[in-house]
Structure formats: structure tokens, C-alpha cells
Amino acid sequence: MSHFSIRCRNCGKELTEVYCAFCEHCKNALLVTEYNEKNFREDHGKGIWRFNWLPVHTPAFDQTGTVVYKSKGLSGEFGLENLYIAFNGFWPEIGASLQTCTFKEFEAAVVLQNAIENDVKGLVVASAGNTARAFAHLSDISGFPVIIVVPTMCLMEMWYLESSLKIPTLAVGDGDYSDSIDVARRIASAVGFPFEGGVKNIAKRDGLGSVLLETVSKIGRLPDHYFQAIGSGTGALGVWEMAERFIRDGRFGSKLPVLHLAQNLPFAPMMKAWEKDSRELFPEDLRPELIGEITTRVLSTRYPAYSIKGGVYDALKATDGKIYGIKNEEVYRAMEIFEKAEGPDIVPASGVAVAALEKAMNSGFIQDSDTVLLNITGGGERRLGKEKKKYDVRPCIISKKISEKEIEELLCGILKMN
């Protein structure tokens, strides 16, 4: 018998026999995982698998988790007494050993294990870069087949480990991340593998929410404030949902952490909608040409989980949260501040979160004694490059206008090769 069920946030209906990513019971609401055990436990295994609030049963491969530590350098820079950093990347000195240097590795691990246990034969994954690397790496580790679709505009920021180069990767040459999602859905239909599901996949959100599980395990309580850069918002939703479980547990705090989320200007559709207290995004803020002006294209989806029931809008309302807009020059400055204060290099998306923390402190939103969690979603790429060779991704280039016949021919070749 499973230790969890799946519930619709909109109507409350419970679903017990469904692969989590693909139920369309309520199209305007997210499904959430309901775990039978109300109390948080961490005695199930090693790494992230030791937690009881993950939708898996018998993991087939190992997966390390985030490393949470109390800051000394950045805390002094910003005048915070209780700043904790969730470092997701490669920093051996503190035990951080993510080979892909991104917290997307947690979502990939939980999604793939969940798919294996649901007898899914393979997945089609859309990505703007980090998710692709994570799924390619864990596809290689687990032996579970995936086909990855990315936009060529993100290839400059993409790399794979050598063993991941064999994972089939396609790049949409005339579109952005959102176009890659559309193409991935069509490929999924043609190949007979499910589309991975994006934010609708409860395994994805719970995997990313493991950052909060590691944090509470480390500090023994919920933080007062949580900082993260967002593209789709999936990671922030995973943290919010985990926080709700901790509130129901009752032993780790009675108040949800305030979500402090950030986007890279000028492509910041969720920030601009939130400023106007609008559940709906505005078309002028979703223009593709804005994506070319930001330094963090991994945050560039035009299909964010904002308006949907249980999405970012609701999470911000529930936590009295805030969204910040961060300019490119602020991103680079924040990356330099972090490296000087803490030691490791971080990716631009993490710089967005650091810059948001600085803005929050300057605005007086946070008290010096508050407990703050800063999610460094990726870091240590330069350090990893000194120990392992990183390879440019050389995908098969396709058009967003690819025909169904062309998809079938392409897939026939890919499946023969693999």
C-alpha cells in the first residue's frame, strides 16, 4: 500500500491510481501529494531518500541532497544573525557533491524514480538548460530513457558530463523555452513516452521541496523567510507545499515562511502581475524579445505556474510574499558579493536570489534576528570544471514548425541509435 495519495487543490477530490504528472482532472488547479504520515521523519535511507515526504518507495539509485549551513560571510555583509544557505552544487569542502551543480538534480531524481515505480517506459523532458543536464545525468545513472528538448538560445549556458552526451537531446532552433515545451509535448505524443509534466508533476515539486526538508532537518524549525529566483515557479511551490506539511506536523513552527521570489528584468511577467495584484499575466510582459535581454535564460518560460490554482499567485498570498525585479548588472554584482563572502562561484540565477536578499534588507522587510533561508539553486561549476571535463551540448537542431512526419522519422533514428 502506498504511503501517499494525490488530491486536487481545486475540488479536493482524491486520486489514488494515477501517474502524478498527467492527471487532467481539474485543468485549472494543481494536484498535491497527501502523505499518510503527518509527522516529518528522516529514517528511510540515505541522501534525499531518507525523507518520508517523497512520492517514492524503493529507490533504485543514490541521490545526495542539498547542503544547508549557517552563513558567516554573507550574513555579516547583510547584517543578518541567522542566515542559512542551501547550497546546491559542487563544493567538496562542505560536502556538496551535485555533479550537475543544480538543485534540478533533486527533481530529476524523484521524477525518474516515481516514473519507474509507475511502470512508465520513458519520458520526454523540456528544459532551458539546468533541467536538461540533471535529467541527462540521472538518465545515465538510472538507465531510465529520456528524450530532452531545449531551445538553441540556451545552448551557450548548457553543458553535460561526458557520460550524458549519449542521451538524446534536441534543440529548437527558431524558438524559446516555451516553444521547446510545445515541441516536447508533440514528440511525447508521437513516441509514446509521457511528457514529463512540468509543474503539474507532483514528484517534481516534492523533489525540489526537499531543500526545505534538508533545512528543517538542519536547523530544527521553519525559516521566517525564503529567497529564490524563479522561472516557472516550480521550486518555490515545492517549498511552499513542504512548509504546509510542516505546519500540519506542528513541531517546527506555526507560520509559513514568507516567500521572497525574484525574476531577471526586463523579463519578469510574474513580478509585474504581482505588483498590480493580478492573478493573470499581461501579454506585453511575455514578449519573447524580452528574453534576449536577460542574463538568466534558465528563468525565461512564458508558461509560468502563476495563475493556476495552487500556483505562485496563491503561494504569495498565503505567505504574504514578495517578488523582486533584478537587473543584469545587479545579478553580476551579487554573484561577486557571494563568492567574496562565502567562497564558491554561483550561477546567475543564484545571483538573482542574492540580489533579492540585499533589496529586502535595504527595504526593511526583514529583522536582523529573523531566520532566513537563501536557496543557491546552482553553484560550483567553475570548481567542478577543475576536476571533471564539461562538454558542450551538441544536439540535433529542429524547428518549432517540425511536421508530424518529420517527428516520426527523427524519433525512428533516435530510438535505433539508443
DSSP string over 287-332: -GGGGGG-S-GGG--SS-SSSSBTSHHHHHHHHT-EEEEE-HHHHH
pLDDT digits (tens, 9 = 90+) for 256-276: 999 999 999 999 999 999 999
Domain locations in the chain as residue ranges: 67-99+203-385, 121-193+388-418
Assigned CATH class of 67-99+203-385: alpha beta
In the predicted structure, residue 281 carries a pLDDT above the cut 90: yes
Mean pLDDT check: name the lowest of 6-10, 18-22, 63-67, 141-145: 18-22
pLDDT digits (tens, 9 = 90+) for 203-233: 999 999 999 999 999 999 999 999 999 999 9
**Average pLDDT score over the chain:** 93
Reported as type and span, the H/E element at residue 239 is: helix 234-249
| Cross-strand partners of 324 | 262
Please compute the mean of the pLDDT values over residues 91-106 and round it to a whole number: 97
CA proximity to 331, closest of 385, 387, 238, 267: 267
What residues contact 24, with CB distance under 8 A and at least 6 apart?
none
Integer Cα distance of 319 and 316 in angstroms:
5
Whole-model pTM: value is 0.95
CATH code matching the domain that covers 121-193+388-418, chosen among 3.40.50.1360, 3.30.1600.10, 3.40.50.1100, 3.40.50.300: 3.40.50.1100
Q: If phi over 0 gives left and psi between -120 and 50 gives alpha, with beta otherwise, what is residue 212?
A: alpha
pLDDT digits (tens, 9 = 90+) for 303-336: 999 999 999 999 999 999 999 999 999 999 999 9
**60, 181, 382 from 45: Cα distances, Å:** 12, 34, 31
